[in-house]
Structure 1
Amino acid sequence: MTVALAANAPTLFDIKSAQLPLVALRVKTDRLDQVADELAAQYADVPDFFDNDALLIDFSQLDTGHSTDPTPMAFEALLQAARSLRLRPVAVRGGGTVHAQLAEQAGLVVTDEVLPAKTTAITPTPSPSVAAAPAPTPVEPPAVAPSALVIDKPLRSGQQVYARGRDLVVLAMVNPGAEVIADGHIHVYAPLRGKAIAGARGNTEARIFALAMEPELVSIAGIYRTSEVPWPDEVLGKPTQVRLFSGPDGDKLVMDAIKP
């Protein structure tokens, strides 16, 4: 016997599942005060790198059996360092009991997993006597990628350009002491003599291209190399691409000459 129960639906609001894009800070040491100092130092010269992004602090890589529990002062220092960079800590994942307690005291959500919401489609079974017509496959319009940021003037020492969420194209020289940063690829159609940081938010597929590769530093997804180690003669001052290679020995930067 089926019983139908009367129900009332709210008319002024709805409760729905939602997905929130998060920036994840993966903590690799139990010295949270040192993490706070390094975080602040890393982005001190890029004040607009974050834009009130929601932050997940991830302690899942810590060995809680051999690590030291954080103090409230160290945990608060980490939160303050994040907020000073326009990050908004909202959740904590992993860690031990003390990490969870400090997170709850700070008003953060404690979660084991942050996963995208899943939708399950229920298809009715057709009657055996009636052939069901195939349901049309919905076609989603292709996402429009943001256009690249194009810079057509030389960048002098002390100047910095950041292409948030897109590629960066520079049509003039990047002089020593200048910095070009992008969440995607970096293309320099001129000599690259300053610093180039591609995949700034962890995009390991990002690459750096230059017509004359002579940089002070190149970095992709946090893996970097400086000119303190001389660049190979095969690429120095020549058209070159830099990419990230992941192998059994870890991540490393690979430089390939671009042949006409």
Structure 2
Amino acid sequence: MTASVKPAPSRSNPLFEIKSAALNLIAFAPKTANLAELEAALEQKLGGRADFFGGDAAVVDLTEWPESATALDVSGLLSLLRKAGLQPVAARNGLPGARAAASSAGLVLLPDAPQRDVVEEKPAENKAIPAPVTQTTLIVDKPVRSGQQVYARGGDLIVLALVSHGAEVIADGNIHVYAPLRGRALAGARGNTEARILTHCMEAELLSVAGVYRALDEPLPASIKGRAAQVRLDGNKLVIEALTLD
């Protein structure tokens, strides 16, 4: 006697869905396979904070990865990125050998990113501190005291009170301080080169935009110190300039 197989009962709801997903990934593009140099550069840029990226997913851009690098170099690079708080999940671009090594290390191989022409635009002169236009804005209306750190993840940071010496304010976008800025300010923390730092009273200890740092060991000129000012990138140079608020 042959046992009959009953069909599974029909369901009104599907067991799964296929959806498109726009993922926000950090792209890390190494320009050398010298892991010691990369580790030192990351240490300097991140200030030794292993939690700086908070476990963010990353795609490794192998465009400038040298042809002479080995599979062991790729594995070492991934370990270095994980140590810095990134989680590499994919690779793109690069020579066939580098892509094969990345695939062997467990990374998903993405299609090569298309090359785009970059048009440099000269920013218009700022006569006043502009209002932030971002999807996410963190507003702090209390003083940021020495030893405290405030991080606006994914957007701008607005501080309506004093940022004391020894305090640190960080944003993935712009930083606006409508009071004296006396501590450390790091804008464009995830590489946004268009980010700016704006304050009603510039007295900062350290400034950074997209990883380009300037420690203010020497006194600022009288035209900037204690006055309204903005900080922006001009190529790889950090520019500090006075603002006219009238």
Give the TM-score normalised by the residue count of structure 2: 0.74
Does 2:175 align with 1:186? yes
Contact kept in structure 2, 1:240 and 1:258, CA below 8 Å: yes
Distance 2:50 2:60 in 1: 20
Q: How far did 1:162 drift?
A: 1.0
In the other structure, the counterpart of 1:3 is: none
Structure 2 runs not aligned, ≥5 long: 1-13, 115-132
Q: State the identity %.
A: 46
**Secondary structure of 1:180's match?**
strand
Distance 1:110 1:154 in 2: 43
In the other structure, the counterpart of 1:105 is: 104
Does 2:214 align with 1:205? no
Point out the more displaced range, 233-242 or 38-47.
Answer: 38-47
Q: How far did 1:103 drift?
A: 0.9
Change (3 A) 1:36 1:97: farther
Give the TM-score normalised by the residue count of structure 1: 0.71
Q: How far did 1:152 drift?
A: 0.8
Between Structure 1 and Structure 2, whose CA radius of gyration is higher? Answer: 1
In the other structure, the counterpart of 1:196 is: 185
Distance 2:152 2:85 in 1: 17
**Secondary structure of 1:148's match?**
strand
In the other structure, the counterpart of 1:140 is: none
Change (3 A) 1:114 1:14: farther
Q: How far did 1:228 drift?
A: 3.4
**Secondary structure of 1:104's match?**
helix
Alignment of 1:63-212 (within 5 A): 64=66, 68-70=68-70, 72=72, 74-114=73-113, 145-156=135-146, 158-212=147-201
User: How far does the alpha carbon of each residue in 1:140-163 deviate from its partner, in whole angstroms, 9 at most, with x for none?
Assistant: xxx98223231412321x322211
The one of 30, 35, 40 equivalent to 2:38 is: 35
Structure 1 runs not aligned, ≥5 long: 1-10, 116-142
Distance 2:105 2:61 in 1: 15
Change (3 A) 1:220 1:104: same
User: How far does the alpha carbon of each residue in 1:114-140 deviate from its partner, in whole angstroms, 9 at most, with x for none?
Assistant: 47xxxxxxxxxxxxxxxxxxxxxxxxx
Backbone CA RMSD of aligned residues: 2.7
Aligned length: 214
Change (3 A) 1:150 1:68: same
In the other structure, the counterpart of 2:240 is: 255
Distance 1:168 1:192 in 2: 13
